[in-house]
Chain A
Amino acid sequence: MTGTGFLERRPRRRRLVNGQRPGWMAYGFLTAVMLGSMFPIYWSFLIGSGDASTINQQDIVWWPGGNFLTNAAAVLESDSVNFWRAIGNSILVSTVVSASVVLFSTLAGYTFAKLRFRGRDGLLIFVIATMAVPTQLGVVPLFIAMSQLQLAGTLWAVILPAVVSAFGVFWMTQYLAQALPYELIEAARVDGASMIRTFWSVALPAARPAAAMLALFTFIATWTNFFWPFIVLDRQNPTLPVALSLLQSNYFVDYSVVMAGVILSTIPLLILFVVAGRQLVSGIMQGAVKG
Chain B
Amino acid sequence: MSKTAAWPVAPPKDERSVRRIAFSQTLSRWDVKISPYLYISPFFILFAITGMFPLAYTAWVSVHEWNLIGGQGDFVWFDNYAFVLSQPPFWIALRNTFSIFLISAVPQIAFALLIAAVLDRNLRAKTFWRMGVLLPYVVAPVAVTLIFSNMFGDQYGLINNLLGNLGIEPIGWHSDVLASHIAIATMVNFRWTGYTALILLAAMQAIPRDYYEASMIDGAGMVRQFFSITIPQLRPTLIFVIVTSTIGGLQIFDEPRLYDSVGQGGASSQWMTITIYLYNLGWGQLNFGRAAAVAWLLFLIIVLVGLINVAITRSIAKAS
Contacts and interface: CB of A to CB of B under 8 A. Distances in A.
A287 B201 CA distance: 12
Interface stretch (B85-93, B139-147, B175-183, B311-319): B139-147
A182 interface: no
B164 to A, nearest CB: 8
Contacts of A266: 138-140, 143
A143 B291 CA distance: 12
Interface in B209-251: 209, 212-213, 216, 237, 240, 243, 247, 251
A138 B32 contact: no
A132 B263 contact: no
Given A141-B54, A194-B2, A226-B254, A55 B156 contact: yes
Contacts of A19: 122
B285 interface: no
Nearest to A220: B138
B199 A117 contact: no
Interface in A165-202: 166, 169, 189-190, 192-196, 199
A112 B40 contact: yes
A56 interface: yes
B57 interface: yes
B132 A278 contact: no
Given A134-B299, A141-B61, A164-B43, A288 B199 contact: yes
A57 B47 CA distance: 52
Contacts of A241: 140-143, 254
A55 B2 CA distance: 70
B36 interface: yes
A137 interface: yes
Interface string B70-109: 0100000000000000000000000000000000000000
B108 to A, nearest CB: 13
A40 B203 contact: no
Contacts of B51: 130, 133, 135, 138, 161, 164, 166
B3 to A, nearest CB: 5
Most buried by A among B51, B118, B254: B51
Interface stretch (A68-76, A100-108, A205-213): A100-108
Contact of B5 (A14, A108, A189, A289): A189
A82 interface: no
Given A37-B135, A144-B288, A266-B139, A284 B47 contact: no
6 contacts: A133-B51, A134-B251, A135-B55, A143-B288, A161-B51, A166-B51
Given A22-B118, A224-B140, A270-B138, 5 more contacts: A30-B133, A33-B115, A105-B43, A141-B60, A141-B292
Interface of B: 1-6, 28, 31-33, 35-37, 39-40, 42-44, 46-47, 50-55, 57-58, 60-61, 71, 115, 118-124, 127, 129-144, 146-148, 150-151, 153, 156, 158, 161-162, 190, 194-195, 198-203, 205-206, 209, 212-213, 216, 237, 240, 243, 247, 251, 253-254, 257-258, 261, 263, 275, 278-279, 282-283, 288, 291-292, 295-296, 298-299, 302, 306
